[in-house]
Amino acid sequence: MSTEDTTNDTKVDDKIKLLDKEFDLVLINEYFDESLIVLKKQLCWEMKDIVYISNGIRNSATRSEVKNETINKIINWNKGDFKLYMHFNNTLWKKISDYGPNFSRDLRELQELNKEIMSQCIDPNNANTEDRRKTEYVLKPNAPENCTYLWLGDVDFVRLLREKQISNCTEVQSR
C-alpha cells in the first residue's frame, strides 16, 4: 500500500480482508505464548516444537512513560497499522476462545517448559549487558545441544535450516 492509501479507510479495510484470507494466523508479539499455542494446534505440533529462549530482551529500566496525548497522536498517525493490529489481535483472541477448555492448561505447560529450558540452558549469572537497553543471555558451558538451537537468533537459525535443507537435497540427489 502507498503511504496515501494507509489513510483511506476503505483501502485499509480491503487490504485487511485480503490479508485475513491469506493468513490463517498472525502471531501477536504481546501475546507470543498464546499465539504459539494456537499455532501448535493449527499445525498439529507438539509442545516441544514451540519452546523457545527469549534473547535480547529489552530492559524495562530503559523504557520511558508515554503520555496519553502522545499515544493518541501515534495511533492517529499510524491509523492503518493500528487497524491492522487490532484486527489480528481480535482474530487471535477469537481463536483462543475457540481453542477449547485446554487452552489455559496448554499455555501453563508451555510457560513451565520454557522455564525448564531457561534453567537447563542459560547461566543466570552471566548475561551480556554491553547494550544497556537489552539483556542477551549466555549459554551454560555444559548446556545440552538443543540449547544451542533454541538460543540462536532468527536470522542464524533460518541460515542453519537452509544449510541443512541444501545438504539433505544434495544427499537425495546423489542417490
Residue 151: Cβ within 10 Å count: 20
User: Has this prediction a pTM greater than 0.85?
Assistant: no
135 pairs with which residues across the strands? 57
The answer to whether the beta carbons of residues 68 and 74 sit under 8 Å apart is no
pLDDT bin (cut points 50, 70, 90) of residue 170 is confident
The cell for 123 is 547461566
pLDDT more than 90, % of the chain? 59
